Amino acid sequence: MTTPRNAQARRNVQARRNVQARRNVQEISSKSQFDKAMEAYKQVSKQYRNALRELAK
């Protein structure tokens, strides 16, 4: 089956947009995971400041 070039071009553009949208969602979710990890670290670092200092030696 052959399709007009314009239809193929529109499909290609749509496919690229879908891929980009998925990448954006993954980046957002990984950033939120990073933020959660940093918050957890901040809480632990305050609580175990001396222990972390000793482990770093």
Question: How far, rounded to the nearest angstrom, does the alpha carbon of residue 5 sit from its chain's CA centroid?
Answer: 35
Q: Tokens for 53?
A: 């200092």
Give the range of the structural domain holding residue 15, as residue numbers without chain letter. 5-56
pLDDT, position 2: 58
pLDDT, position 56: 83
> What's the predicted TM-score (pTM) here?
0.37
Residue where the block lists tokens 């071009």: 9
Q: For 4-52, where are the E strands, in sequence order?
A: none
Q: Which of 57, 40, 34, 15 lies closest to 23 in space, CA to CA? A: 15
Q: Please state the domain count of the chain.
A: 1
pLDDT per residue, tens digit, the chain (57 aa), is 556 667 777 777 777 777 777 776 666 666 777 888 888 888 888 888 888 788 888
